[in-house]
Chains A and B, each alone.
Chain A
Amino acid sequence: MGKTLVDKIWDQHVVVSKPGFPDALYINTHFIHEVTSPQAFDGLRKRGIPVFRPQKTRATADHNVPTINQHLPIKEALSRHQVEMLTKNTNEFGVELYGLGHPFQGIVHVIGPELGITLPGMTIVCGDSHTSTHGAFGAMAFGIGTSEVEQVLATQCILQYRPKRMKIEINGQLKRGVVSKDIILYIISKISASGATGYFVEFCGEAIRNLSMEARMTICNMSIEMGARGGLIAPDQTTFDYIKGRQFAPQGADWDKAVAYWQTLHSDADAEFDRVLTFDAADIEPMITYGTNPGMGMGVTHHIPSLEQIEDKERPSFKKSLDYMALEPGSALLGKKVDYVFIGSCTNSRIEDLRMVAGFVAGKHKADNVEVWVVPGSKQVEAQAKKEGIDKIFEAAGFQLREPGCSACLGMNEDKIPAGMYCISTSNRNFEGRQGPNARTFLASPLTAAAAAITGVVTDVRELI
């Protein structure tokens, strides 16, 4: 019987497999950031051990950093301390840091791919659940906790049990105005925020094949939002073309050898999956979430489910969620006033996202009632946007183009949505308080977010393009 892609990569990385024990898996690339690493470095100090393979870990500062005036010291003392600790720890343990001011600085899941560090067939971990993003390259990438960060620093290995395998196939062509964010919000709305827990998901099918690398990253990024251990897409020519020539990508003879290997990285035709789901791309509309987990999503023209449509035992949680959002069961979101628009996060802050938004807003101006923040994923994205004149389009539209970081996706820095306000956001989580205490989040694609920025209300972007 053939093997799935996950099993192929897994088998290539097993260092020790003993009955009764989880497998010890070798990790090719480990990313760290300021929030989930300090306690891991402390652990090494307590044990008196070094980082085992410091060249296989790369660090950046992203979660806590301000998105304006990054050249000045960080104002908030605790954030500043955490970022300083990252500098201290990486210096002391010999790990490469792309900190504030470095031309490679940015959101960890944006910089790995754009620097050519993320490659097919790799195992990649980071103390961040959106590490699944790197799966877009046909890598096995997943988020870990700080104790596991310490394991990887200490041994370049992690203990894992083999996950179950799920295949999600999206056939056919996307309709106008529908982009990759809509695909993943649609899938999560169908299978729920826990529908893939315990599984590693392989995305495939014509609609996935037709996506660019950056659009594929958006899909894999949100695998965790359906509970999946990770998500991945088999590499193809689109993948190889994206990687070629990037800063740390293999070159010359190494490149040819690498591509020959990467071409073997696909699930065999007779590989068996534990679960297979199939969707038709033509059924997908521009999506929006209305509740407080990413599974509570719907087509932007739809109505929120009524209480009668929700199972008895799920009603209290459903009602709690809508109370938080101050929304009525059964109501529509079209025309609902929004206060903030956030375009950013490891889900949608890459150059293609900014180009998509700029293409839509060129010659238009934001509505008076909205504040619009565009936060690029990295210094390189920011520089490219400026090179292409995207900054001028945003300025003319009344959008603020800020500096790179995680920003209002999780509101660890100053970029918080005020209590009670509605934000249409291209990020990945609409949890209570995620964007600031009592902030209310509608998750959507960059296009749908941009449409709301122009009209000031939840809008079907298809009517404006």
Chain B
Amino acid sequence: MKKVFQHLNSTAVPLPIENIDTDQIIPARFLKATTREGFGENLFRDWRFDANGDPKPEFVLNNPLYKGEILVAGKNFGCGSSREHAAWSIGDYGFKVVVSSFFADIFKNNALNNFILPVQVSEGFLHKIFSAIEADAEAKLEVDLEAQLIRIVASGEQESFDINPYKKACLINGYDDIDYLLSLRNNIEQYENSREFNF
């Protein structure tokens, strides 16, 4: 099935921690699979499970109050290793949107390439989202990609977010970068032939 992302209305899971690196999202020892599936079971592995593999009740993903297709996290989300497995594990677990006040570059690209929408909001709006979820675990967020708006449904407070127009079109229409690059084949060969130094 072709993947797309257009619109989402969902409850959210709050993770108000800053600088969440991709080693926390999926530790290196779980990167040994050679397919893209199944990484969700080890999402946030060492925060979610103890050394015996038992769930840690204090971690938000083990708290039955919080569920939904939106993950809300502190600033500089996805820093560190370039492992795309981080995006795969977030998607495989069932998240379609990650909201933060700041994203690391490589993670942002990896997420978009997997039809997961990174929504960057202001520190102030992030704080409002955390407060709304704290007040009511059932609080819903609405994300409208076409309009580039994120809204706290109950209060109606909203903020617009940036996304580059190319990636927006890819998400809405289900295109991927390779389709576009393959269409440039002639240009690529012309470029190669024009180079004095083609190393």
Contacts and interface: CB of A to CB of B under 8 A. Distances in A.
A150 B84 CA distance: 12
B160 interface: no
A412 B29 contact: yes
A358 to B, nearest CB: 29
A278 B184 CA distance: 42
A107 to B, nearest CB: 14
Contacts of B35: 38-39, 42
B105 A122 contact: no
A258 to B, nearest CB: 7
Contact of B109 (A145, A194, A429): A145
Interface in A174-200: 193-194, 197-198
Interface string A253-292: 0000110010000000000000000000000000000000
B22 to A, nearest CB: 9
A163 to B, nearest CB: 8
Contact of A437 (B31, B46, B82): B46
Interface in B94-132: 102, 104-106, 109-110, 113-114
Contact of B23 (A143, A295, A434): A434
Given A145-B113, A314-B18, A431-B24, A194 B104 contact: yes
A261 B113 contact: no
B90 to A, nearest CB: 13
Contacts of B51: 419, 437-438
Interface string B164-199: 111000000000111011101101100110000111
A206 B187 CA distance: 42
A155 B188 contact: yes
A16 B46 CA distance: 44
B76 A197 contact: yes
Nearest to B77: A194
B80 interface: yes
A304 B21 CA distance: 22
B18 A47 contact: no
A204 interface: no
Nearest to A153: B178
B34 A26 contact: no
B25 to A, nearest CB: 11
Interface residues of A, number: 72
A252 interface: no
Nearest to B123: A313
A431 B80 contact: yes
B140 interface: no
B166 A20 contact: yes
A155 B182 contact: yes
B197 to A, nearest CB: 6
Contact of A155 (B83, B105, B178): B178
Contacts of A229: 105
Residue in B109, B165, B192 with the greatest tally of chain A CB atoms within 10 Å: B109
A412 B164 contact: no
Given A144-B106, A317-B74, A154 B182 contact: yes
B46 A154 contact: no
B19 A293 contact: yes
A136 interface: no
B36 interface: yes
Residue in A35, A49, A419 with the greatest tally of chain B CB atoms within 10 Å: A35
Contact of A317 (B18, B46, B184, B198): B18
Given A145-B82, A227-B105, A82 B34 contact: yes
A15 B191 contact: yes
B63 interface: no
Contacts of A434: 23, 28
7 contacts: A122-B199, A147-B84, A147-B110, A194-B76, A316-B17, A431-B80, A432-B23
Interface of B: 16-19, 21, 23-24, 27-29, 31-36, 46, 51, 74-76, 79-85, 87, 102, 104-106, 109-110, 113-114, 164-166, 176-178, 180-182, 184-185, 187-188, 191-192, 197-199
**What 8 A-B pairs come out closest when comparing CB atoms?**
A145-B84, A38-B34, A78-B32, A145-B110, A147-B113, A143-B82, A129-B82, A146-B84
